[in-house]
Structure 1
Amino acid sequence: MTVRRSGEGQPERTLALLWRNHRPPTPDTEQEQARRERRRGAGRRPSLDVDGVVLAAIRLADEQGLGAASMGGLAKELSVGTMTLYTYIPSKDELLDLMVDQVLGERDLPGPGEPRPDDWREQVEIYSVQTRAMFHRHPWLSQVSTIRPPIGPGMLAAREYLLSALLGTGLSPSDTNTAALAITTYVDSAAGLEAESELIERATGQSNDAWWYERSDLWETYFDVERHPAMTTIWNANGYQSSTREAAADSYRYGLDRLLDGIESTARESL
């Protein structure tokens, strides 16, 4: 599967689009809107807006895969000319950033002043649950590298939430930021792998368990217990789960709990 990168658009243009609903109008934006109206034709009400275009692109990607959400495919979906889309979103790079930040903002994370659990670990659990659900709804996210992320309201809301959850732990400001980044790295990476697995099963029509079963001859014919004593020990002690899905769920839970244990221990030492 092809991996696309976010953050490839022209910075000023991308930021203006990402924050379009979070800043007061300026004379420049009003002039730009007027120019768009003239291009569409005098007296005609616009049939689209940026929000509608982005939501349509997300819907296409959800239903048909990320490749379907091209400018051409989106224009066909919306029954407009491709050039018409460019009056709303200048390129596929800005479109991808808008799609990603839109779904990042779908997570139901309490904002400043909104009710939330008192316990910071429970707050992190909300982030975990909401992030995994987000990737499940939009598995194409696993095909987008966010090393250079869309710096929009969806991304910043998640950063603010995790930092605020950890602020009361007693960690130093530097450790608070590092811990939040560690949680994001772990949860988002694991959720992305789950989504990638869903995409592969959807594309091939074959479950992961069925894929492994077809290769079961490995254990009878090729596996050497002398060269793999640790694996053999775990096998003999019934240490492997019965399905890949169960193994993934258990390893995720184990890893997150141990990560939070480490953060909690560091916080206690700081008090």
Structure 2
Amino acid sequence: MAERHSGGGPADRTLALLWRNHQPVTDAKPALGRRPTLDLNKVVDAGIGLADDKGLAAASMSGVAKALGVGTMTLYTYVPSKEELLDLMVDQVLAERDLPAPGVPRPSSWRDQITLYSDQTRAMFQRHPWLASISTIRPPIGPGMLAAREYLLSACAVLGLSPHQTNTAALAITTYVDSAAGLDAESEQLERSTGQTHDAWWHERWDLWETYFDVERHPTMTAIWNANGYGDGTREAADESYRFGLDRLLDGIELLKTRS
């Protein structure tokens, strides 16, 4: 289960913070007084930097305040709670993906468009492995989240499916890609936090195969092992498995087009 979850702050206040750079310009005069030493974007950047370097726990309100050289109470004047800071961090990271906006040139084929989403999402999780410890069941509904949603829906819309099928296809792709990318990030986090590689962890448990593993109770596992069906356990093998699953998912979605 994820350590933290997004979407925990008050709705009106959180939405205003998430969409702070998209509000219409007003004629309001600037407030008098000392010029602020910070802005909210710097606060969010500091939180992301701490989480990247030291893990999500380091991106506490006090930790971010210390990194910025201000008091914790000062930080609260920019972001009212840790829940809202988390939403801002997550949505800003989601917006890092270089996904073409409407009207911007994109890969010509449907599969290449999905591959772009896949590559950008996996790279995002690799840069920010702490994302794997955050549940986005209740997502930060900000520009980053909606931009990715619009991109995937528009990519699936070219298949000519019904609106419901288009939405379902986009959700299926999101579920597969984001879940797999999150597992990769979780794996990296575990190696980083424990200082032990996965190969070393399995090596310590090699006695399982010599002492406890019963080939008669696990005949299929044994047959695949004897045929070298498990591969070599390298990153390339893991990428091949991921790509196999994505291709089969896209094959299934394309079948809907031929049946409609």
Q: TM-score range by the shorter chain?
A: over 0.9
| Residues matched between the structures, number | 260
Q: Distance in 2 between matches of 1:172 and 1:190?
A: 27
Structure 1 alignment gaps of length 5 or more: none
1:99 to 89, 92, 117: 89
Instruction: Name 1:14's counterpart in structure 2.
Output: 14
What is the letter of the counterpart of residue 201 of structure 1? E
| Alignment partner of 1:224 is 2:214 | yes
Checking the alignment, whether the CA contact within 8 Å between 1:208 and 1:244 is kept in structure 2 is: no
Q: Distance in 2 between matches of 1:171 and 1:209?
A: 44
| Alignment partner of 1:111 is 2:104 | no
Checking the alignment, whether the CA contact within 8 Å between 2:2 and 2:135 is kept in structure 1 is: no
Q: CA offset at residue 269 of structure 1?
A: 1.3
Secondary structure of the 1:87 match is coil
Q: Distance in 1 between matches of 2:25 and 2:74?
A: 23
Q: CA offset at residue 192 of structure 1?
A: 0.3
Instruction: Name 1:241's counterpart in structure 2.
Output: 231
Instruction: Name 2:187's counterpart in structure 1.
Output: 197
| Alignment partner of 1:156 is 2:142 | no
Instruction: Name 1:87's counterpart in structure 2.
Output: 77
Q: Distance in 2 between matches of 1:16 and 1:248?
A: 41
Q: Distance in 2 between matches of 1:94 and 1:256?
A: 33
Q: CA offset at residue 25 of structure 1?
A: 4.0
Structure 2 alignment gaps of length 5 or more: none
Checking the alignment, whether the CA contact within 8 Å between 2:7 and 2:138 is kept in structure 1 is: yes
What is the letter of the counterpart of residue 101 of structure 1? D
* 1:123-150 superposed Cα distances (whole Å, 9 cap, x missing partner): 0000000000000000000010000000
1:250 to 206, 222, 240: 240
- State, as a whole percentage, how many aligned pairs show the same letter: 72
Q: Post-superposition, which runs of at least 4 consecutive aligned residues in structure 1 deviate over 6 A?
A: none
Instruction: Name 1:181's counterpart in structure 2.
Output: 171
Q: CA offset at residue 94 of structure 1?
A: 0.3
Instruction: Name 2:67's counterpart in structure 1.
Output: 77
Q: CA offset at residue 184 of structure 1?
A: 0.3
* 1:56-107 superposed Cα distances (whole Å, 9 cap, x missing partner): 1100100111000000001100010101011110000000000000000000
Q: Distance in 2 between matches of 1:245 and 1:215?
A: 21
Checking the alignment, whether the CA contact within 8 Å between 2:2 and 2:132 is kept in structure 1 is: no
2:131 to 141, 164, 168: 141
Q: CA offset at residue 246 of structure 1?
A: 4.0
Q: Distance in 1 between matches of 2:39 and 2:172?
A: 37
Q: Distance in 2 between matches of 1:239 and 1:10?
A: 51
Instruction: Name 1:51's counterpart in structure 2.
Output: 41
Q: Distance in 1 between matches of 2:74 and 2:258?
A: 58
Deviates more, 1:221-230 or 1:239-248: 239-248
What is the letter of the counterpart of residue 214 of structure 1? E
CA RMSD of aligned residues (A): 1.5
Q: CA offset at residue 245 of structure 1?
A: 3.3
Secondary structure of the 1:21 match is helix
> What is the TM-score normalised by the length of structure 2?
0.96
* 1:29-80 superposed Cα distances (whole Å, 9 cap, x missing partner): x59x74xx6xxxx2x2111011110011100100111000000001100010
What is the letter of the counterpart of residue 83 of structure 1? M
Q: Distance in 2 between matches of 1:248 and 1:176?
A: 29
What is the letter of the counterpart of residue 11 of structure 1? A
Q: CA offset at residue 120 of structure 1?
A: 0.6
| Alignment partner of 1:3 is 2:11 | no
Instruction: Name 1:171's counterpart in structure 2.
Output: 161
Secondary structure of the 2:164 match is helix
Q: CA offset at residue 247 of structure 1?
A: 4.0
Checking the alignment, whether the CA contact within 8 Å between 1:101 and 1:155 is kept in structure 2 is: yes
1:124 to 89, 114, 119: 114
